Amino acid sequence: MKHLLHLFIITLAFSCSSHKKPQIIKPAITAIDIKASMDYLASDLLEGRATGSKGIEDAAIFIENYLKSNGIKPYFETYRDSFKVNDLTGYNIVGVIEGNDPELKNEHIILGGHYDHIGVGKIVDGDSIANGANDDASGTIAAMEIGKYFAQTKSNKRSILITLYDAEELGLKGSAHLAERLKNEGLNAYTMINFEMIGVPRTENETMSYMSGYERSNFAETLNKYAGEEVVGYFPKAKEFGLFMRSDNFPFFKELNMPAHAISTFDFTNYDFYHHVDDEVDKMDYQHMANFINKIIPALEGMMNAPTKEVVLKDE
C-alpha cells in the first residue's frame, strides 16, 4: 500500500509539472553586442553613411542581415522601402514582428531610428569622415536590439514594426515617405517611438532619457508606470529647440495622427560632437546603452500588451 501511494505521488507530480507553461528565456541585451554593431555601422568603411553612397548601401545590407538572422521578417515584399530625393535613391529598412494575440496583433507599434548620416564633415587632424556613432547609429542599434528581443521572446501581443530610416539628414525624407506609405496602405498604427542619439548618458541628477513632445501625450508616464521608475523624463529645452518636429517621429504624428515621439539621452550639454568627425565608436558608452535598452524593454512590453490603448494624444 505504501509503495502504491508513493507511486501515485510521483505520477501526480510528473503530471502537474508536464502541464506547466515553458518559461521564456529572455535574451540579454549586452554592451558587447551593441558595440559589435556600432563597430561596423560607425566605422570609416561606411564613410559617414550619406544617402546615395556606397557606405549607406553597406549599412542597409548589414541591417537587413541582422533582421533576417534574428527572425524579423520583411514588412513589405523585401526589407526595403525605396524612395527618391532629387537624383538620389534612398532606402528605409522595415521589418515586422507579428503580435501573439489574435485581435491585438492588428494594432502596430512602430519603433525606429535613422541610419543615415552626413558623410563628411569639417576636417579635424586629417579626418573628414563624420561617422555618426551617436547620431544615429546608437538609435538604430537600440531599435535593432529591441526587435531582436521581441523576435526571440515572442512576448508582444501587438505587432511591432522595426523601421530604420534613410535621408533624415536631408530633411526627414525617409520617415516622411514611409509614414505616408503606411497611411495610404491603411496600417492600423497605435504609437511610434524614434530613438535619437542614445549613445551617451546624461548627468547623474537627470532622468536617464527624455521624450520630445512630452506634453502632447501620456506616453512617457505610461512607459514609466510599466518600467517601475522614471526612465523617460521631461526636458524643458526640447520644446524650446522644437525637437518634436525635427526628428523622424514627426512625419508619423503628422500622417497617422497618433502619439509619436523621439526618445534621447543627448541634451546638448553631455556631448560635443554633434555633426562632427569625432562622433566616433570610442566616444560611446556601451554599458549606458545596454542599461537604457534593458530598462525601456519592459516599459514597452507593458504598454504593447495592455488590453486597451492606454497611450493617447492630449489637447495642447
Q: What is the CATH number of the domain that holds 296?
A: 3.40.630.10
Amino acid (1-letter code) at residue 249: N
Whether residue 228 is contained in a domain is answered as yes
> Taking Cα atoms as reference points, which of 140, 156, 149 lies closest to residue 28?
149
Residue 8 has what pLDDT? 46
In the chain, DSSP finds a helix count (H) and a strand count (E) of: 9, 11
In whole angstroms, how far apart are CA 200 and each of 192, 266, 281, 292? 22, 7, 11, 10
Predicted confidence pLDDT, tens digits, the chain (316 residues)? 545 445 444 444 444 444 555 566 788 899 999 999 999 999 999 999 999 999 999 999 999 999 999 999 999 999 999 999 999 999 999 999 999 999 999 999 999 999 999 999 999 999 999 999 999 999 999 999 999 999 999 999 999 999 999 999 999 999 999 999 999 999 999 999 999 999 999 999 999 999 999 999 999 999 999 999 999 999 999 999 999 999 999 999 999 999 999 999 999 999 999 999 999 999 999 999 999 999 999 999 999 999 999 999 998 6
Angle, CA of 67, 73 and 75, to the nearest 5°: 110
Which phi and psi angles does 98 have, rounded to 5°?
Answer: -65, 140
Domain extent for 262: 27-305
- 283 vs 167: CA distance, rounded Å: 24
Amino acid (1-letter code) at residue 204: E
Whether residue 85 is contained in a domain is answered as yes
Residue 12 has what pLDDT? 46
- 226 vs 313: CA distance, rounded Å: 19
Total domains in the fold of the chain: 1
Residue 27 has what pLDDT? 82
Whether residue 7 is contained in a domain is answered as no
Residue 316 has what pLDDT? 65
Whether residue 9 is contained in a domain is answered as no
Residue 120 has what pLDDT? 95
Pair 211, 217: CB distance under 8 Å = no
Which phi and psi angles does 313 have, rounded to 5°?
Answer: -70, 150
> Taking Cα atoms as reference points, which of 142, 166, 126 lies closest to residue 44?
126
- 128 vs 201: CA distance, rounded Å: 26
Rg value, the chain, Cα: 21
Whether residue 12 is contained in a domain is answered as no
Whether residue 121 is contained in a domain is answered as yes
Whether residue 162 is contained in a domain is answered as yes
Whether residue 16 is contained in a domain is answered as no
Mean pLDDT of the chain: 93
> Taking Cα atoms as reference points, which of 226, 88, 86 lies closest to residue 155?
226
